[in-house]
Chain A
Amino acid sequence: MFKNWFNLFNLAILSLFATSSFAGEEDLYDFLWLDPDKSVYVLQNKIYPKDKSFYVDLGLLMNQTNKFQDTSGAQFKAGYYFSEEWALEFDYVKYSNLNNSALDSLIAVNGVVPFIQKPLSSSSLFAIWSPFYGKINTFNQIYYFDWSFGLGAGSYTLESNLDTVQDNTQDIYKEENVGAVLLKTNFKFHINRNLHLGVELLNTNYQFGTPKNPNSKGWDQNNDIIFSIGASF
């Protein structure tokens, strides 16, 4: 399915740059040789099979949730594919936070500090399902990728000014460790048999209080985009 999207994309690109290169290859592209009387399928061995393989990745993340902090961080993950489509993965994420210009402006104009959560770290265990494997043809090179989904559970450490934000007195941050349910989706582009690049969207869900109702916890979430480089063996 994905291959066809990319085919369209490639066709558009090729028609711009390389139309003349197809001249004289009409026979190849009229496909009559593939027996039009019958449905033809492509059944291809994966260039990068995953079954019974380990992988480790190191990544840099950009946080997409925090309004008043510039949050970035690093991710380490390691996993094992016990079948072609299923893997178990351990993730560790370490965050770093800096006050951003929005917070500075708010304090300068209104003189108040808003409710802020600063993610510190998370450790989690995922079940990874990797049903899609495809390829992209670009710059006259074929690149292979895997698209996977993960469901995990773990602990999420963050600090917040929940206790002090209502009093609007001192701005004190308190560290808390909460349980989290995590979802993720990941694109893994294979450079060669042992190296790959990854793009991941990580969604962390946890229960936390709000300034309006500090004693009753509701679901909150944190989203990260992670770019990583990894090795498979």
Chain B
Amino acid sequence: MKLLLVLTFIMSSAWAKQSKIDKLYLKSLEHYKNRDYFTALDLIAHQYKYATPDQNIQHYIERLVGYTGTHYFNTFNDLELRKLNIPTTDLIMAKRNLYLKKFNYVHKRLKRMPKGHRLYPESLLVKGTAYLMDKKYQKAISTYQKCSEAAYGWEKRTEDKQQNYFAVLKESCIINIARIHYKQKNYKLAIRHYEDIPKKSFKWPYTLLEKSWAYYYTGDYNRSLGILLTYNSPLLESYFTPEAEVLKALNYFKLCLYEDALAVIDKYYNTFAPRSTALKKVIARGNKKDLFFFNMMFTPIKDTEKENKFLRNLVTQMTKRIKYNLDLNSFYQMNEEIYRANKSANLPLLLKMQKDLKEQINHYVKVSMYKFINEIHSLSSEMFNLKLEILSRKRDLAYKNKTFRKDRSRGNFKNIKREPHQEFWTFRSAFWADELGDYSLALDSTCKTRRIDRNE
């Protein structure tokens, strides 16, 4: 009799629990139909922190995340994420493990990722990065290769923002392959991979610098300098990177064009370093204001430019970053839900999440700006060392009563190293946008010395 009573109690409580979940699911579905995606997600995901949902609900949560992004799960711990048991949470956990350098767990979490899932290419990117950080380079290359192919497949059958997302994923994987080849000193292979990034891509301006380094290490200093010239173009003005100036000076140094190298170094000290100090002051002033960096991202460019030229560059660069764009997307989604003002929407949750997101974006922009300033100042010491080296070599030449055999000419096409798959022509004041990034100088190396004649 007692046993029967216990069984009846267990069954009735299980039935009551199930019926509560069913009700919540129906309520969440109602929110979904009203396009209150965050409210719908919160209602359902909250229930499954400690119990794994059935397949139907798993698919439903996946569909909701397609609208909200993964930001909502930031407050879930690993145990709670595991309970949900869906590809989205597997990927979030894998990323957390990657950050903690627990590579085995990264692979474990991504093992079940279905090949047809929209997150499959991104999971391959994470997996490849785990291999890369674990120094398993061959595995990393083959995983990135698969990633670029899978992302390309999705890119072809999607449109607009989704298409951009898969294009960026594909390009990230290709760039990572190039970086591995670069790391292994296979510079030519690295260059061929960098060249696979289309010029219209957000990522392309950044690959120019990496490609220039690769050319520098192959000894093709003229090509390296030509590519770096691209950053001077008004089209890429916003992508100014101090490292490009250091590399320019190094290239001139290798060609023994000491005067050119010194000109670059002087410009760095006279223009960029003071501008960076001024930027630091502007940032420090605004740092005291709440959400200063977040608000700056929405200030008209003309106003930011007035403050400091670098500020405009940094804001433009930031707007092209993937993380910033994903966060911004979630922010706008929340905004939409708030301003739609459906009575049933969970407004306190939305406002709290939006505040968190604003702070997150604010922090991200702040860190990026300080990184830029620190980079300028740390590279200053590199430039200083280079200047010392140049001055010492010039002094040695003077002591040995020697000078360079040739004066620097404007360049001769004989110095251009052309591969069979390349074409070259002289640039004669005809700008073709498709040629951006394909420039080369043709300067003679002046490293051979001769004794100075007494009559000179």
Chain B residue at minimal CB-CB distance from A85: B420
7 more CB-based (< 8 A) A-B contacts, given A41-B426, A41-B427: A34-B233, A35-B232, A35-B441, A39-B411, A51-B421, A133-B423, A137-B432
- List B residues 184-239 near A (Cβ within 8 Å): 195, 223, 226, 229, 232-235
Is residue B328 within 8 Å, beta carbon to beta carbon, of the partner chain? Answer: no
- Chain A interface residues (CB < 8 Å from chain B): 1, 3-4, 7, 11, 25, 27-29, 31, 33-35, 37-46, 49, 51, 83-85, 133-135, 137, 142
Question: CA A140 – CA B124 in complex, angstroms?
Answer: 38
B431 touches A42 (CB 8 A): no
Known: A28-B233, A28-B235, A84-B421. A39 touches B434 (CB 8 A): no
Question: CA A1 – CA B424 in complex, angstroms?
Answer: 10
| Cβ contacts under 8 Å, B429 to chain A | 31
Chain A residue at minimal CB-CB distance from B417: A43
Q: Which of A31, A40, A142 contacts B226 (CB 8 A)?
A: A40
A44 touches B423 (CB 8 A): yes
B229 touches A33 (CB 8 A): yes
B427 touches A42 (CB 8 A): yes
Chain B residue at minimal CB-CB distance from A3: B425
Q: Smallest Cβ distance from B194 to chain A, in angstroms?
A: 11
Which of A27, A31, A40 is packed against the most chain B CB atoms within 10 Å?
A40
B427 touches A84 (CB 8 A): no
Question: CA A38 – CA B223 in complex, angstroms?
Answer: 13
| Cβ contacts under 8 Å, A38 to chain B | 410-411, 441, 443
25 A-B pairs in the complex with CB atoms less than 8 angstroms apart: A3-B430, A4-B425, A4-B428, A33-B234, A38-B411, A39-B411, A39-B413, A39-B442, A40-B229, A40-B439, A41-B416, A41-B440, A41-B441, A42-B424, A42-B439, A43-B223, A43-B424, A44-B423, A45-B421, A45-B422, A46-B423, A51-B420, A84-B420, A84-B421, A142-B434
Which of A7, A42, A85 is packed against the most chain B CB atoms within 10 Å?
A42
Which of B195, B427, B430, B438 is packed against the most chain A CB atoms within 10 Å?
B430
B226 touches A41 (CB 8 A): yes
| Cβ contacts under 8 Å, B226 to chain A | 40-41, 43
Tell me the number of A-to-B contacts counted with CB atoms below 8 Å.
108
Chain B residue at minimal CB-CB distance from A36: B410
Which of A35, A37, A142 is packed against the most chain B CB atoms within 10 Å?
A35
Q: How many residues of B contact A (CB 8 A)?
A: 35
A28 touches B434 (CB 8 A): no
A44 touches B233 (CB 8 A): no
Question: CA A63 – CA B444 in complex, angstroms?
Answer: 53
Q: Smallest Cβ distance from A55 to chain B, in angstroms?
A: 17
Is residue B306 within 8 Å, beta carbon to beta carbon, of the partner chain? Answer: no
| Cβ contacts under 8 Å, A44 to chain B | 422-424, 434-435, 438
Q: Smallest Cβ distance from B358 to chain A, in angstroms?
A: 35
Known: A27-B234, A34-B232. A41 touches B430 (CB 8 A): no
Is residue B418 within 8 Å, beta carbon to beta carbon, of the partner chain? Answer: yes
Chain A residue at minimal CB-CB distance from B419: A45
Question: CA A38 – CA B264 in complex, angstroms?
Answer: 15
Question: CA A41 – CA B422 in complex, angstroms?
Answer: 12
Known: A28-B431, A33-B232, A51-B420. A42 touches B425 (CB 8 A): yes
| Cβ contacts under 8 Å, A40 to chain B | 226, 229, 411, 426-427, 439-441
Q: Which of B234, B421, B439 contacts A41 (CB 8 A)?
A: B439
| Cβ contacts under 8 Å, B428 to chain A | 4
A7 touches B430 (CB 8 A): yes
Q: Which of A28, A35, A39, A83 contacts B234 (CB 8 A)?
A: A28
In order of increasing CB-CB distance, the 5 nearest A-B pairs are: A39-B411, A33-B232, A27-B234, A40-B427, A44-B438
A46 touches B421 (CB 8 A): yes
Q: Smallest Cβ distance from B102 to chain A, in angstroms?
A: 41
A34 touches B229 (CB 8 A): yes
Q: Smallest Cβ distance from B267 to chain A, in angstroms?
A: 12
| Cβ contacts under 8 Å, B418 to chain A | 43
- List B residues 428-456 near A (Cβ within 8 Å): 428-432, 434-435, 438-443
Question: CA A41 – CA B416 in complex, angstroms?
Answer: 9
Question: CA A116 – CA B235 in complex, angstroms?
Answer: 64
Question: CA A27 – CA B234 in complex, angstroms?
Answer: 7
B233 touches A33 (CB 8 A): yes
Question: CA A51 – CA B420 in complex, angstroms?
Answer: 9
B424 touches A41 (CB 8 A): yes
B413 touches A41 (CB 8 A): yes
A29 touches B431 (CB 8 A): yes
Which of A7, A29, A41 is packed against the most chain B CB atoms within 10 Å?
A41
Q: Which of B420, B422, B443 contacts A43 (CB 8 A)?
A: B422
- List B residues 390-429 near A (Cβ within 8 Å): 410-413, 416, 418, 420-429
Known: A40-B439, A41-B441, A45-B195. A1 touches B232 (CB 8 A): no
| Cβ contacts under 8 Å, B431 to chain A | 28-29, 31
A39 touches B410 (CB 8 A): yes
| Cβ contacts under 8 Å, B411 to chain A | 38-41
Question: CA A28 – CA B233 in complex, angstroms?
Answer: 7
Chain B residue at minimal CB-CB distance from A42: B435
| Cβ contacts under 8 Å, B442 to chain A | 39, 41
